[in-house]
Every structure is written in C-alpha cells, then in structure tokens.
Amino acid sequence: MANIKVDIVFREVYTSTLNSDLGDSEDTLTATVNVYSDKLIKNFDKLLKHTYDPSEIPDISEKIRYFLASGEFTLNNGELSEISTIHRDGTVTVSYSEKTHKMDICIPLAFDTLKILYDYKIKIMGLGPVGKVKGTVNNFKMTVNVEVDFDKLNMSLQKYRVRNSGHIQLKFTGNAIVDWMVNIVSNSATIALNPIIMKVIESIVAGNLGSIFEKVNQIINALLGQ
C-alpha cells in the first residue's frame, strides 16, 4: 500500500473540512467530500488493479438432477476480474455531530461489469463434458460508511453494505454439452455463485479500505508526533 498516497488525500479532506463552516455550507462540504472520495477511490483502484485483479474465487461442487437421472458438476480454477473498475455511484452523503465532533461519510460504490472465469466438469447420464464457463456480474452496488473523528484525528470504516448483488450471466463452452444440461447447471451455478461473489467482494473492498484507514491514522499520528 506504500504506492497509495493516502496521507495526501487524508490531509486534504481534513484541511478542507476544518476550513469550512459545517453548519452553514452543506453543499460546499458535500462537494469537498465527493472530490475526496473520488481521489480515494482512484488510488484504491490502483491497489486493486495491481493486487486483486483478477482474484481467485472458490471452487464449486453441486449435485444436479434431470428427471430420474442424477449427477454433479464442479467449477474450479475460478477467477473474478474487472474488480478495479470500482467507482463512486452517486452523491456522497455527509452528516456531522456537533456533540461528538464526528462526521459520517456515506459513499455509494459500484463496479462496471465484473467477469467470471471457471473450468467446469459435468457428470450426468453417462455424459461428462468439460470446458470453460465465462460469466458476467452486472449492477453490483455497495455502500461504505466512513467515520471521521475530529477530536482524535482519525478515520475508520464503520459499515459495509451490499445494495445490489448484481445479475449473473454464465456461458458454457466445450464438447458434448447440450442445451438442457446448460440450463440445469447454469441455474445451480448462478445460485451457488451469488454468495461467493458477495463474500469475495466484501473481503477485498471492506478489508482493504479498513487497512488503508489504519495506515492513514498511523501517518497522521506520526505527523502530529503522537
């Protein structure tokens, strides 16, 4: 994370906010925080691109049934890409408490189309096609709440919430795969993938934002000699 200039960004938001009138300039403050958020996300994109794009995703193994026949399919060697397309998805909302001297910054985030890639293997009715499955996740949206404490001069990730887990579409390619088989496997795989994608994204986004804010706090403390 050393290549992320979080210290500069953080000092900018502190300076801009402390020099504004929190009670009388809500539009100015919102614009300031929007700019700060865009800078933070831009640098966050760089981290994701170099470290997490693509990211490995867990294998999947599921039982399937077609009338009286049963079988199973597996997805392995999976990866999720285009994670570095994260961006602000609307206006950042800001609330400030005069009592606690704390600001809550609610940042709406979204991805461009995420991409999924797996190897698959199916066994049913004596058939055992193998091949690749390519997929997309559209309209994945989330919100993060960041708290800025002006007394302690630090910031922290308070909440991460998925607003829309997106729409998954899968395309299977390979030898001897037929339409009815694609339909069965695709439906089961989509259901299994949804919580996996959500968990992977949360780990990457929430986990790394939390770490970035910890780094920011260390830098600020060092600058203040604490």
φ, ψ for residue 223 (rounded to 5)? -65, -35
- Say what the pLDDT of residue 83 is: 93
Range with the largest mean pLDDT of 46-50, 103-107, 180-184, 197-201: 197-201
Q: Which residue range is the domain that position 145 belongs to? A: 6-223
Q: Is residue 160 part of a domain?
A: yes
Beta strands in the chain (DSSP E): 55-57, 60-66, 69-81, 87-88, 93-97, 102-110, 114-124, 130-149, 154-174
Q: Is residue 1 part of a domain?
A: no
CA 207, 210, 216, 219 dihedral sign is: negative
> Is the predicted pLDDT of residue 5 greater than 70, yes or no?
no
**Residue 207: pLDDT band by 50, 70, 90 thresholds?**
confident
The region, left, alpha or beta by phi > 0 then psi within -120 to 50, assigned to residue 176 is left
- Say what the pLDDT of residue 202 is: 93
Mean pLDDT of the chain: 82
Q: What is the pTM of this model?
A: 0.78
- Say what the pLDDT of residue 220 is: 73
- The residue with tokens 């285009």 is 82
List Cβ neighbours of 68 (8 Å cut-off, separation of 6 or more): none
Dump pLDDT digits (tens) for 65-103: 877 778 899 999 999 999 999 999 988 888 888 888 888
Q: Is residue 42 part of a domain?
A: yes
Q: What is the CATH number of the domain that holds 100?
A: 3.15.10.50
Dump pLDDT digits (tens) for 92-147: 888 888 888 888 889 999 999 999 999 999 888 777 788 999 999 999 999 999 88
What total of structural domains would you count in the chain?
1
Q: How many alpha carbons lie under 13 Å from residue 81 in its C-beta half-sphere?
A: 9
> Is the predicted pLDDT of residue 59 greater than 90, yes or no?
yes
Q: Is residue 43 part of a domain?
A: yes
Q: Is residue 105 part of a domain?
A: yes
Q: Is residue 75 part of a domain?
A: yes
Q: Is residue 213 part of a domain?
A: yes
> Is the predicted pLDDT of residue 24 greater than 50, yes or no?
no
